[in-house]
Amino acid sequence: MSEVNRIDARFAKLREEGGTALVPFLTAGDPDLETTERLILEMADAGADVIEIGVPFSDPTAEGPTIQRSSSRALENGTSLRAILMMVDRIRSRIEQPLVLMGYANPVHAMGAETFAKACEDVGVDGIIIPDLTPEDGKPYLDPCRARNVHPILLAAPTTRPERLEMLVRETRGFLYYVSLQGVTGARADLARGIEEKVRAAQALGDVPVCVGFGISTPEQAKEIGAYADGVVIGSAIVDLIEQANGRTAAVDAVGRYIAEVKAALA
């Protein structure tokens, strides 16, 4: 892995250009890993800045019905953490965008924290998000990654206490993932109110970029959030497109068009 983490390099470039990061999410293995590869490459071509790859898990507690269904489909296809790491290895040389794995602690624990961190470094994973681990409980998992320049990305929410937010801004790497609402993931018709003030408060605590996710589904919503956030994370709306598409090629095309539309709205 390069000395400068790709996430840091991408946000530095965006700041220089006055741009906002588009961070799309998809579940690896839904509908299959070959299509996931095609989707990631299409996202990169369409303007994604950082790509978040979901590791399917049987009990994804932070996810709404859309991503839960995608996780179930991926697991039924036999998708595993090791297979996803092998997929990243296959595509790493073909795209310049940072790749972030988002998954739960259990598969990482099963692999072993050190083995996982080394595998991430070897294949070119740039960051990890493990939503069911606090920074305190997660140290045995997050520190080995941090030591190998694989950024542990921490989450904050509107309910996060000020002193804890300060700690999260200090401890996160790459960016802080700001969850815009209470509850689980899922596209929503309306954005949560009062988020701008809270995101600006997080930005004021340090130099780390703050990206907002959960509930963002339309280019207009992305533009609204992108007016103050450093990045916008979109997951369920993309997973919906994949689920509803009439075939794999149609899914890739639909996602590519959607990413291009959202990125244009952020420009």
Structural domains of the chain sorted by starting position, each given as residue range(s) with its CATH number in brackets:
6-150+228-266 (3.20.20.70)
pTM for the whole thing? Answer: 0.93
The token pair at 71 is 């996780």
Rg, Å, the chain Cα set = 17
Q: How far apart are CA 54 and CA 28, in angstroms?
A: 6
Q: How far apart are CA 215 and CA 26, in angstroms?
A: 15
Q: Which burial class, exposed, middle or buried, applies to 18 when counting CB atoms under 10 A from its CB (0-12, 13-18, 19+)? A: exposed
Q: Is 112 left (phi over 0), alpha (psi -120 to 50) or beta?
A: left
φ/ψ of 135, rounded to 5, equals: -55, -35
pLDDT in tens, the chain (267 residues): 448 999 999 999 999 999 999 999 999 999 999 999 999 999 999 999 999 999 998 876 656 788 889 998 999 999 999 999 999 999 999 999 999 999 999 999 999 999 999 999 999 999 999 999 999 999 999 999 999 999 999 999 999 999 999 999 999 999 999 998 654 444 444 455 689 999 999 999 999 999 999 889 999 999 999 999 999 999 999 999 999 999 999 999 999 999 999 999 998
Count Cα atoms within 13 angstroms, Cβ side, for 76: 8
Q: How far apart are CA 184 and CA 132, in angstroms?
A: 13
Please count the helices (runs of H) and the strands (runs of E) in the chain. Answer: 12, 9
Helix (H, G, I), strand (E, B) or coil at 27: strand
Please provide the DSSP assignment of 144-181 as one string.
HHHHTT-EEPPEE-TT--HHHHHHHHHH--S-EEEE-S
